[in-house]
Amino acid sequence: MSTNSDPSHNAPFRRPRLPVVALLLWALFVFAVPRFAQPLNVADVFAFPLGFFMAAQGSLIALLVIAILSARRQGRIDAAGAEDQ
């Protein structure tokens, strides 16, 4: 096991902005959207009330998009970290 005193070695771990943002968005779609489903029903999406749509499908789609974007961004961070070594 080697010790690396280079400060850029731990660069991906110094700024945990990506996981924090992903978790906050996740919490929004998992907890807040169903909580406010009734007020969201004033708008329609594909002939369904928005609150019903978000509870049934919209939140799942949003979570999938969050996961894909987080994985892509983390892949770029990891690739940049591998280039620095």
| pLDDT tier for residue 63 given thresholds of 50, 70 and 90 | very high
Tell me the residue range of the domain where 76 lies: 17-84
Burial, 54: exposed, middle or buried (Cβ in 10 Å; 0-12, 13-18, 19+)? buried
Instruction: Please report how the helices 17-27 and 59-84 are oriented relative to each other, as an axis angle in degrees rounded to 10.
Output: 180
**pLDDT tens column, 8-50:** 555 555 567 888 889 999 999 888 888 888 888 898 888 889 8
Kindly state whether residue 24 falls inside one of the protein's structural domains.
yes
Q: How is residue 40 annotated by DSSP?
A: H
What pTM value is reported for the model? 0.68
Kindly state whether residue 79 falls inside one of the protein's structural domains.
yes
Kindly state whether residue 67 falls inside one of the protein's structural domains.
yes
Kindly state whether residue 46 falls inside one of the protein's structural domains.
yes
Q: Are 80 and 8 in contact (CB under 8 A)?
A: no
In total, how many domains does the chain have?
1
Kindly state whether residue 12 falls inside one of the protein's structural domains.
no
- Please check the confidence at residue 54 and state whether its pLDDT lies above 60: yes
- Please check the confidence at residue 51 and state whether its pLDDT lies above 70: yes
Kindly state whether residue 27 falls inside one of the protein's structural domains.
yes
